[in-house]
Amino acid sequence: MENKSVIDVRQLIKVYQVGDVAVHALRGINLTVSAGEFLAIMGASGSGKSTLMNLLGCLDQPTSGEYFLDGVAVDALSKNEYADIRNQKIGFVFQGFNLLPRTTALENVELPLMYDRLHRIKNPRQSAIESLERVGLGDRMDHIPNQLSGGQQQRVAIARALVNEPAILLADEPTGNLDSRTSLEVISVFQELNSQGITIILVTHEHDLANYARRIVELRDGIVLKDKLVPTRKNARKDLEVYKQEENQ
Amino acid sequence: MLQLKNVLKTAFKSIFKNRMRSLLTSLGIIIGVSAVIVMVSIGEGSQKQIEEGIQSLGTNLIVVFPGASRSGGVSRGAGSFNRFTFEDVEKIDREAALISAVSPVVRTGGQIIGGGKNWFTTVFGVSPAYFEIRNWELQDGEFFSERDLRAKKKVALLGKTITDELFAEQDPIGEKIRIRSVPFTVIGVLKSKGQSGMGNDQDDVILAPATTVFYRLKGGRHVDMINASALSVERIDAAQEEMRAILREAHRLSPGDDDDFTISNQAEISDAASETSRIMTLLLGSIAGVSLVVGGIGIMNIMLVSVTERTREIGIRLSVGARSIDVLIQFLTEAVILSLSGGVLGILLSFIISIILNRFTELVAVVNPQIIIVSTLFSAAVGIFFGFYPARKASLLNPIDALRYE
C-alpha cells in the first residue's frame, strides 16, 4: 500500500525536555503523503508544525513513532545515515533562505553535491546550472546573495533544494520573509515544480497561501486537527498577473 | 570523501575573509617557528665554532696527562710515578709506529719583561715536533730546531697576544725578553689561533725549547704533559692504545695495575664539547618551542571564534547532508592552513634573521634543512592538535540549533 506514498508517518511523538519541563510538541501524528502531492501544513505557532517539518526533513529525530520516507524506515538511523538521507532524499527550503554569504548562487546550489557520497549526480556543475534555470535564475548564477532580491534568494534556495533530485521538497514558511508579490512569485515556482511531478510539503500559517496547495493538513497542539483537499485551488501565476495589473493602475 | 578542492576553497575563502585576523593568528606561529629555527641555528653555529676551535688544537691530537699511580686498587698518591720524563717521550718517538710526531710539554708561567713592558703568561717548553702537532704557524721569524733543543738555547716564540702587549710598535724578532729574569731571544711570532673551543685565549702563550724551560726555568723536575699526533684520524684509537702500552712499559706497570696517566684524544675532547653545545641547542630550541605552543593556543582561540561565527553556515551544511566528519575536516583544514602558512612564513623570517645575525653580530647561525622539515611538520601538527577541539565542537552541532543560531 505504501508503494506510492513518499511519506508515511505513524504515531509520531516528539517531546522536548526544557529544564525540568517536558514539552509535548507532537502527540501522535499520522500522515501519508503520496508522490506528486502538494501539501500545506497549517497551524498556529506552537501547534507543532515546525517540529513536524524538522522530523520530516530528518533534521531531528522523533521521540517515538514510525517514519517511512520513500519506503525506507528512517526513525532509527544513525547520525551519519541521517545526513545521507538529507543529502539524497530531501530538499529543504527555509524561511530565512539560509544561503552561504559571499558565495555565488551557483556555488550555493552546488553545495549539496559536495556531500553527494554516492556520486548519484554525475555532472554537478551542469546539474546546478539546470537547477538554477529551472527556477528562472539562469542569468544570475554568478551573483552573491547580497546582490539578489529576497525572492531571488529564495529561488536560489529552491534550486539548491532541487539539485540533488530529492524525493520530496520541504518548505518551512518559505514566504515568511517576503512581501506578498514576491511570495506569489515563489509560490508560483512551487506550483510549476509540482506540475512537473515534484512532491512538495509547504508549512505556512497563511490560509491564503495554503489554498495554492492541493491538500491542507491543520495541526493543533501536536495532533492533526483537519486533513482536507483544497476545494478551489488557486493559480499563483494568474494571481500574480492580476497583482501586477493592480500595481500598474 | 568530499572533494579536497572544495574543502580547500572554503578554507581559503574563510581565511581571506578575515585577513587581519588570520595574519595575527599566524603571527603566533610565525614567531614560534622562526624562534625555534633561529635558536637551533645559533646553537648549531656555536657548535660548529667549537668544533673548529678544537680542530685548531691540532690534527689527530693525542694528549697524555699524568695521573696518580695505582696498584691493586691502592692509590699510591701523587709523586709515585706520575710525571713523565724525556726518556718516556724518546721511547714513544722510537717505538710508536702509529705516531707521526711526539713532543714533551713542560709548562710554567711567570712575569715576562720585554719592550719596556711586562706581562704574565704561560710558557710551554716543547720540541720542534710540537708546532706540527698543534698546528702552529709562523707569523714572522722561524721555529727553533732540534739543535736548539739539544743545546738548551734560550730562544722563544711569542703568541699574538704577547706580541701585541709587549711589542706593539716594534719588530720583536731579535729582541730580548726576560722570563722570570732569565733572558731569552725572540726568534719568531706565532700566527693567531684565536680562542679555543673552551673559550681560553690560545695566543697568550710563549713557546720555548723543552730542555731550556726544563733546566733553566723549572729546575729540572718533570715533564707535565705529552702531546702526540696520530698518523691519521682513523687510526687515532689504535695510536692511543700503542702509546698506552709504551708508557705502561716505561713506567714498569704490571698487568693488574691501573694506568698512572690519563690519555685522551681529540675526538674525545671534541665529543665532550659538542655534547655540551648540543644540550645548549636543545635547551634554546625547547624555550623557543614554548612560543610555538602559545601560537597554537592562538589558533585554537581564533578557531573557536570562527566556529561560533559560522554556526549558521555549519547548520546549512549539515542540513544539505554534510556529515559531522565533513565539518570536522573543514575546520581542521582551516586550522592547519593557518598554522602551516605561519610555519612557512616563519621559515622565511628565520632565514632573514640568520642572515642579519651572521652579518651584523658575532653569533653564527647555521640553518640546516633538517630543522626546516621538522618545524614545518611541527607547525602542521600544532594546527591539527589545537584545531581539533574547535573543529570537533563544530562537528557536534545539532543541525536545527545551528540553523536557528543568530
Tens digits of per-residue pLDDT, A192-202? 999 999 999 99
CB A154 within 8 A of CB A174: yes
Residue count of chain A, please give it: 249
Give the contacts of A152 (CB within 8 A, at least 6 positions apart). Answer: A137, A140, A143
Q: What is the pLDDT of residue B73?
A: 57
Cell of A127: 546539474
Decide if pLDDT at B44 tops 50: yes
Which percentage of chain B shows pLDDT scores above 70? 93
Evaluate if residue B1 carries a pLDDT over 50: no
The secondary element (H helix, E strand) that includes residue A69 is strand A64-69
The answer to whether the Cβ–Cβ distance between B6 and A115 falls below 8 Å is no
Q: Which of B60-74, B333-347, B386-400 has the lowest mean pLDDT?
A: B60-74
pLDDT of residue A1: 38
Q: State the average pLDDT over residues B192-212.
A: 81
Considering Cα of B383, then B384, then B385, then B390, what sign does the dihedral take? positive
Among chain B residues, the shortest Cα distance to A88 is held by B321
Instruction: Kindly state the average pLDDT of the residues B357-375.
Output: 86
The answer, for A92 touching chain B at a CB cutoff of 8 Å, is yes
Q: Which helix (H) or strand (E) holds A247?
A: helix A236-248
Out of A87, A98, A100, the one facing B321 most closely (by C-beta) is: A87
Is the confidence at residue B272, as pLDDT, over 80?
no
pLDDT of B310 higher than 60: yes
Determine the residue of chain B that is closest to A82 in CA distance: B321
The percent of residues above 90 in pLDDT, for chain B, comes to 35
Percent of chain A at pLDDT > 70 equals: 99
Amino acid identity at A235: N
Q: Is the pLDDT of residue B210 over 60?
A: yes
How far does CA A17 lie from the centroid of its chain?
A: 26
State residue A122's pLDDT score. Answer: 86
- Does B127 or B368 have the greater pLDDT score? B127
Distance from C-alpha of B314 to C-alpha of B392, rounded to nearest angstrom: 12
Buried b (16+ CB within 10 A) or exposed e, B134-172: bebeeebbebbeeebbeebbbbbbbbbbbbebbbeeeeb
Exposure of B94 by Cβ count < 10 A (0-12 exposed, 13-18 middle, 19+ buried)?
exposed
Three-state SS for B365-385 is CCCCHHHHHHHHHHHHHHHHH
pLDDT, averaged across chain A: 91
Closest Cα in chain A to B313 = A100
User: In this predicted model, what pLDDT tens digit does every residue of B314-323 receive, in sequence order?
Assistant: 999 999 999 9
- Shortest Cα distance, chain B CAs vs residue A243, angstroms: 33
In angstroms, what separates the C-alpha of B351 from chain A's closest C-alpha?
37
Confidence of residue A90 (pLDDT cuts 50, 70, 90): very high
For B194-205, what is the mean pLDDT?
74
For B342-363, what is the mean pLDDT?
91
> Per-residue pLDDT averaged across A52-56, rounded?
93
Q: Which three cell numbers stand for residue B341?
A: 602558512
Residues 6+ apart with CB under 8 A from A170: A53, A56, A57, A90, A91, A92, A93, A161, A200, A201, A203
pLDDT confidence of residue A2: 41
Write down the pLDDT at residue A3.
Answer: 47
pLDDT of A138-191, one tens digit each?
A: 999 999 999 999 999 999 999 999 999 999 999 999 998 899 889 999 999 999
B297, pLDDT greater than 80: yes
Cβ of A98 within 8 Å of Cβ of B312? The answer is yes
Neighbours of B40 (CB within 10 A): 26
The predicted pLDDT at position B279 comes to 87
Residue of A nearest to B16 (CA): A102
Beta pairing partners, A201: A39, A170
d(CA B178, CA B115): 10
- What's the pLDDT score for residue A76? 75
Residue whose cell numbers read 618551542: B289
Cα–Cα distance, B134 to B125 (Å, whole number): 13
Q: Does B390 score more than 90 pLDDT?
A: yes
Mind listing the pLDDT tens digit for each residue in B136-188? 888 888 999 999 988 999 999 999 888 988 888 888 898 899 998 899 999 99
Cα B288 from Cα B33, distance rounded (Å): 8
Chain B residue at shortest CA distance from A99: B316
In this predicted structure, the answer to whether residue B70 has a pLDDT above a threshold of 70 is: no
Give yes or no for a contact between A162 and A109, defined as CB atoms under 8 angstroms apart.
no
- In whole angstroms, give the CA distance from residue A242 to residue B184: 125
**pLDDT over 60 at B22, yes or no:** yes
User: Are A57 and A83 spatial neighbours (Cβ–Cβ below 8 Å)?
Assistant: no
Task: Write the pLDDT tens digit of every residue in A70-84.
Answer: 888 987 788 899 999
Q: How confident is the model at residue B197 (pLDDT cuts 50, 70, 90)?
A: low
Q: Are the beta carbons of B319 and A59 separated by less than 8 Å? A: yes
End-to-end CA gap in chain B: 30
CATH architecture of A36-59+78-248: 3-Layer(aba) Sandwich (3.40)
| Three cell numbers, residue B82 | 706520575
| Model pLDDT, residue A46 | 85
Buried b / exposed e over B349-388, threshold 16 CB at 10 Å, is bbbebbeebbeeeeebbbbeeebbeebbebbbebbbbbbb
Q: By three-state DSSP, how is residue A78 classified?
A: coil
What is the identity of the amino acid at A210? A
Residue B49 or residue B282, greater confidence: B282
Q: What is the pLDDT of residue B59?
A: 64
B-chain CB neighbours of A59 within 8 Å are 319, 399-400, 403
To the nearest whole number, what is the mean pLDDT of chain B?
86
Q: Are β-strands B155-158 and B182-190 bridged in parallel, bridged antiparallel, or unpaired?
A: parallel
Tell me what pLDDT residue B236 has: 84
Residue in chain A lying closest to B403 (CA): A98
Give the residue-averaged pLDDT of B11-19.
89
**Closest CA of chain B from A25, distance in Å:** 15
Taking CA atoms, A131 is separated from A98, A108, A238, B75, in Å, by 17, 11, 24, 98
How distant is the Cα of A248 from the closest Cα of chain B, in angstroms?
Answer: 39
Closest by alpha carbon to B78, among B218, B220, B224? B224
Cα–Cα distances in angstroms (integers) from residue B340 to residues B2, B142, B290, B346, in the given order? 22, 61, 17, 9
One-letter amino acid at B256 equals G
The larger pLDDT score, comparing residue B351 to residue B81, is at B351
By the 8 A CB rule, do B266 and B57 touch? yes
Of the listed ranges A63-72, A122-131, B200-209, B255-264, the least confidently predicted one is B255-264
Question: Grid coordinates standing for B322?
Answer: 554534510
- Nearest CA of chain A to the CA of B349: how many Å? 33
For the question of whether the overall pTM of this predicted structure is more than 0.80, the answer is no
Say whether residue A131 is in contact with chain B using an 8 A CB cutoff. no
Residue boundaries of the structural domains of chain B: 4-53+272-404, 68-259
| 3-class secondary structure, B129 | helix
CA dihedral over B217, B218, B222, B227, signed as positive or negative: negative
Say yes or no for a CB contact (<8 Å) between A112 and B320. yes
Contact A115 B321 (CB under 8 A): yes
| Residue B123 to residue B144: CA distance in whole angstroms | 15
3-class DSSP string for A177-245: CCCHHHHHHHHHHHHHHHHCCCCEEEECCCHHHHCCCCEEEEEECCEEEEEEECCCCCCHHHHHHHHHH
Helix-then-strand count for chain B, H and E: 13, 12
Q: Which residues in chain B are contacts of A98 at CB distance < 8 A?
A: 312, 315-316, 319, 403
Pairwise CA distance, residues A222 & A16, whole Å: 12
pLDDT tens profile A8-17:
999 999 999 8
* Partners of residue B312 in chain A, C-beta under 8 Å: 98
The more confidently predicted of residues B207 and B84 is B207
B319/A60 CB distance under 8 A: no
Would you say B89 and B126 are in contact if contact means Cβ atoms under 8 Å apart?
no
Tell whether A54 lies on the interface with B, counting CB pairs under 8 A: yes
CA dihedral B50, B52, B53, B56 (to 10 degrees): 160
Q: B-chain residues within 8 Å CB-CB of A160?
A: 320
Check whether B76 has a pLDDT greater than 60. no
